[in-house]
Structure 1
């Protein structure tokens, strides 16, 4: 293997792992975290008994009567997620976020032994400092690193070496190719593309017609081994979000205003910690009956970190809107700027 290694670091059962930090006696028991009335995350003992993310909490209890259900600890999850990325940035020369608990990393290693050592060091540090586990995949491209990280779970490190990579690029099921949607999978199946190597027998114009030019080109690059291997860092974070559910498991329901204010408080704390000031706020309301989300926005004249300004803006937005019964909401601070780029008179 001669390509520069790419790492994919992914926290294991992140929401559940965070919730279990203060409940070590439950580590070996089936545990799931609930958001509103749905399972947000299940630990591996719960998964082994059929509990899955997206499942109704009552269905999870029927599937596994012994499962312990915990209301999702939003504030703690956001704090741990922020700290996890601080560690990623300390350990890597470039970090490309994938979600709150996952990122591609360029650790600056020019050889595979160095990348593997860096992966092990990262896992030890996260375990020591955060009390959660992460799994790390190492590969020549982002796809290979992601496949390796899936295999490493839970709490492991896996490497896809050149011989295995060649086999995967011929025989990998299309269902395992990251980034292909359900509709595209159905269309590919109809023309006989079940594995990566099957694209070799499909005329180029037909493949483009079936899945679009961009996806067709991506599949050809994956097949050839020239797919994306560049870790693209986000140099400046432009927004921060916090969300929550009006109803929770074994806790009182929250009104939309109470929930929005709690999210704003958490966001202001995170923005201050990151040295950022915001210029706008967005509330995304999720109706209890489903359907299209309601989006409310406001922009301030000047960037600020002031809680009072954002709390007042959130209250005003809700007061001016026709708010139905909600399942939950998300609050986002937008137009973020580093504090050193905000003029003193704006505070």
Structure 2
């Protein structure tokens, strides 16, 4: 069944979530805060391990047709940007990030700077964020399955429920099997949909110099950062990505709420609307790492024209903001009134 864009926006209206959905989001936040407290309250709980925070440019394509001149893409110009590459998991334990040799999702977060226009959130007035991962679909069909995923490892679910979630573990296995040699040389997808004016799109960021997946991966725990340092600093190369959009067609081919169905290029081709340029640079130093740790990326740092759509994006709105708020409160509290180590449990376990 074809829905009008108006009906889709009403279905996914972020200001009127169901009580049940709010309860599920509460579960996800509570679980995430518990892990964050155990593994390092000053650190991100999602995409905690950074491979580098880079400065670059977000270059709007010249001569876009009128229907693509929407929001950020209205006028051809070059914006400054911060680009963060990361792995998706939380710290393994206090004092230790997961090794790059372990299966994990790899992510890119882009913060476009000096963006004018009305924003959805008011905590950053001049930014537009885009968050993407190196797999085209989300790992769960809906927020209910996503909420239960955190309970799967602690024996809180019935065997029947575990069987229902079998597809999630298959997707996780597929995500983990992706071999990435250099985060600068692969493709990323938004997984969830967004407004594009009065239409709906998914997003992708694709390297202009794609690498062949390596047969074997380096043994270093931090080989992804090391690969980026070698490429941008050691070899003095630049990295370029195409920023692409893919339009909603209909509920069958490009569903809004079935987050594990990929939108096929044969049904909805990718269209280039911008270029992400990352110049050669030094970034592997402490001041940059401190800037990285203090920065907050959220798909809800956005112009109204690019507002996130759907239940998964709605869950991310509160999850990202509440985890970031907690993280910043912990940092401020430690500076304001230091506590003994027995209270803050500030030692490796």
What is the TM-score with the length of structure 2 in the denominator? 0.21
**In proportion to residue count, which structure has more strand?**
1
Q: Kindly indicate which of the two structures has a greater share of residues assigned to helix.
A: 1
Greater Rg by CA: 1
